[in-house]
A and B are shown apart, each in its own frame.
Chain A
Amino acid sequence: MVTGVSRYLGGRFAQLLQADPDISRVIGVDVVPPKQDLGDAEFVRADIRNPIISKVISQAEVDTVVHMSVIATPVGAGGRATMKEINVIGTMQLLAACQKAPSVRKLVVKSSTAVYGSSPRDPSMFTEDLEPNALARTGYAKDSVEVESYVRGFARRRPDVSVTTLRFANFVGPKVQTALTAYFSLPVVPTVLGFDPRLQFVHERDGLEVLWRTTLDEHPGTFNIAGDGVITLWQAIRRAGRPGLPLPQPAAPWIGQVLRRLGVADFSPEQMRFLTHGRVVDTARMKTVLGFEPRYSTVAAFDDFVAQQQVSGPLSPDVVGAVERRLLDVLVHTGSAPAQPGGIDA
């Protein structure tokens, strides 16, 4: 059973699962009908916030639950209150149903590296057992922290169920749409003056493969999932060929508000903090315990996103390269014009 199939990753994942001959039945659950075709996967329109979900689980004798409906943006959900309800109450209901269902053997939860928060006191890289320095007080990060704590509680009460928590870095890729992809698609990308945070991305393909592996095999535990290496915010903006606009730090919350008003991108204060101080996680456990090597590095994933979603702005590498060449011609040519013919004759 996969929750949150109406959104892009959930839907793609359900498609992948139902294409596998070893899996007899895939049930997708979400509040709204999926936009994309789920193939042969069954769709149950159920709100995981109410006890109907329990009936679905027990009737279908679900053995594996993949919980992907922790949502990051209030816009799609219809406001912050609804979002919180879906995230936190939904998870509680789902876990309560799983606890009562003896058929459930495995639970995979899609969480986020947002649980680590971001602050200037952060170590350069978070390992899975490091505590965040600044506990998230709002938004998605807080929801993720709470969801994870309920999942831990569930793991304690049902020790026979293998529980995997995957903390994903920000998704990018050809299709996926998040607040961050919207941010990088802005005509002028606002940043916080004097800060160039390190970011990490995971390509949607890699993300789906990790979900796939942890769903089919048993890998209990918590794992950070991210592409290799880091990218700085400015590096990313320039790779997208967009002009950046540094604004002083006191204006940061205000930027977020304006963006939200305009409806172009959805930025909570905690996301603005992320864009100020950044966050990098250690993926050693993903590599050693899960044995997973992401195909896309952070930079490669971002480049793929830029290329496939045609984000490339006016300052694309092509343009800059052309300007460089013209400058080089002008400078070198005028400067050494008398010297050149001599060089050729000799």
Chain B
Amino acid sequence: MPDARVIPIDGGERRRRTPKPSARDAVAAGAARATGERSRRRTTSPLIDPASAAAAAAATTAGKGGSGAARSKPAARTRKAKVGAEATPEPTTGTPGAAGPSRARSKRPARSSAAATPPAGSAPAAFDELSAATEPDGDDASILTGPEASEWERRIAGGLAFVRRRLTGDIEVDDFGFDPELTDKVLLAMMRPLYERYFRVETRGLENVPAEGGALVVANHSGTVPLDSVMTQLALLDHHSAHRHLRMLGADLVFQTPVIGELARKSGTTLACNADAERLLRRGELVGVWPEGFKGVGKPFSERYKLQRFGRGGFVSAALKTRVPIVPCSIVGAEEIYPILGNMKTLARLLGMPYVPVTPTFPWLGPLGMIPLPSKWIIEFGVPIATDGFAPDAAEDPMLVFNITDQVRETIQHTLYRLLMQRRSVFF
């Protein structure tokens, strides 16, 4: 039963968003909702309110426990009543078999078990859980199917439901700690203006990224602050035809750092080690890796667009082992956002960081210096390098791994030079 708790809320919500209610149904829904509202204000017994026969039926089937509680607990009455009344639009609007009744049926055993326990006084914890799981369903439904529900009302309802799910821990993270909802609606949403307006990112060759199955995106790293990974993530989520989440591999320093480590995990980053890379690729995820690491992000401005050493080629052996294609990705524009003129090595050592940059604006302008320069970005995904043609034990051949690493590196380097030639200026 606790398992069933998590799924129906999201599933139900999705289902409810999709059906477009016809005009008549919508009116009925509106009426039903209004009666709910009115009854709540008057705090008369809403179950005998002029709701339709379906309402009564739904209330009796789904709300046995609710009505029981209502009789003894006036405070609870309005709430339960609302569920009963607002459950009514569902049979009329939703597809009859799927959305409304099936959920009502799934609720019924839980409710009746709750009704068996004495409703007076403090409700047992189990009951709290059940009611919390079922009631907000009705709320979302009334708001989202109501015809007069304006766009912003829907947003408020959605926002509140989001906050409630956060506050009650009613979320799902995968084994790696990836929280898709938080990533999409909060973390990346904050970055979208940066992507669309500020850096005006132009993507090329998105069709080279497979729409499904595992693939390894390998890109150049730059920009002092690794914004390039966030932008690549956004490019693939918003602009790729399959809207894929990019699962990135990060250095262990990321996970040692408070807040950053937590956010990185939640946005789908995991530790850059072969075990994790292979696990993600085997699950058919799109994995992004920046093999230059800190050597790439923290290199001085004079070395811009010169690729550093590509790690130890671990990413190639992971791709070879899981036989997924390697997609070379070249990012132009990220080098100019925070040009590194110098590095405060002593301070870096003190802080345990790989570098503390000195840029034209940082630290001279204080917090203002943290504003990146508005360069124009181009992210180009190159033709994938297939790895399934090699023997299964190819990953054990260091020479082959080195060769493929070099091949990927050269491809990215040449694409960078080509893109730089095409670029009119840094900022436009």
Task: Show the binding face of A for B, using Cβ within 8 Å.
Answer: 120-125, 127, 130, 192-196, 198, 229-232, 234-239, 241, 248-249, 277, 280, 297, 299-300, 303-304, 306-308, 310-312, 315-318, 320-322, 324-325, 327-329, 331-333, 335-336, 339-340, 342-344, 346
Contacts and interface: CB of A to CB of B under 8 A. Distances in A.
B271 A123 contact: yes
Contact of B2 (A123, A127, A238, A300): A300
A307 B148 contact: no
Contact of B79 (A304, A325, A332): A325
B89 to A, nearest CB: 13
B126 A307 contact: yes
16 contacts: A120-B256, A123-B273, A125-B275, A125-B279, A193-B258, A194-B260, A194-B262, A196-B262, A229-B174, A231-B169, A234-B169, A238-B168, A239-B170, A320-B168, A322-B79, A332-B153
B252 A121 contact: yes
Contacts of B163: 324
Interface in B128-175: 128-129, 131-133, 135-136, 139, 143, 146-148, 150, 152-153, 156-157, 160-161, 163-164, 166-175
Shortest 4 CB-CB contacts between residues of A and residues of B:
A194-B258, A317-B132, A343-B148, A238-B169
Given A299-B6, A342-B148, A198 B177 contact: yes
Nearest to B259: A194
Contact of B177 (A123, A232, A300, A316): A232
A281 to B, nearest CB: 10
Contacts of A325: 79, 82, 135-136, 139
A243 to B, nearest CB: 11
B3 interface: yes
B77 interface: no
B294 interface: no
Interface string B201-219: 0000000000000000000
Contacts of A234: 169
A312 B169 contact: no
B30 to A, nearest CB: 5
Contacts of A239: 168-170
A120 to B, nearest CB: 4
Given A234-B169, A303-B2, A318-B129, 6 more contacts: A194-B259, A198-B265, A229-B174, A324-B136, A325-B82, A343-B148
B34 interface: yes
B276 A312 contact: no
Contacts of B135: 321, 325
Contacts of A122: 271
Interface residues of B, number: 66
Contact of B128 (A121, A195, A280, A317): A317
Contacts of B5: 303
Nearest to B252: A121
A324 B258 contact: no
A333 B142 CA distance: 13
B160 A339 contact: no
B27 interface: yes
B13 interface: no
B170 A317 contact: yes
A317 B37 contact: no
Contacts of A130: 275
A120 B253 CA distance: 8
B169 A237 contact: yes
A280 B167 contact: no
Contacts of A342: 148
B266 interface: yes
B261 interface: yes
B362 interface: no
Contact of B132 (A237, A277, A316, A344): A316
B116 interface: no
A308 B128 CA distance: 12
Contacts of B153: 332, 335-336
A340 to B, nearest CB: 6
A280 B255 contact: no
Nearest to A234: B169
Contacts of B136: 321, 324-325
A124 B271 contact: yes
Interface string B172-209: 11111100000000000000000000000000000000
Contacts of B252: 120-121
B115 interface: no
A122 B276 CA distance: 10
A193 B262 CA distance: 10
Given A121-B271, A312-B125, A317-B168, A340 B34 contact: yes
Interface in B92-137: 123-126, 128-129, 131-133, 135-136
A344 B30 contact: yes
Interface string B19-34: 0000000010011001
Nearest to B160: A324
Contacts of A327: 160
Contacts of B125: 306-308, 310-312, 316
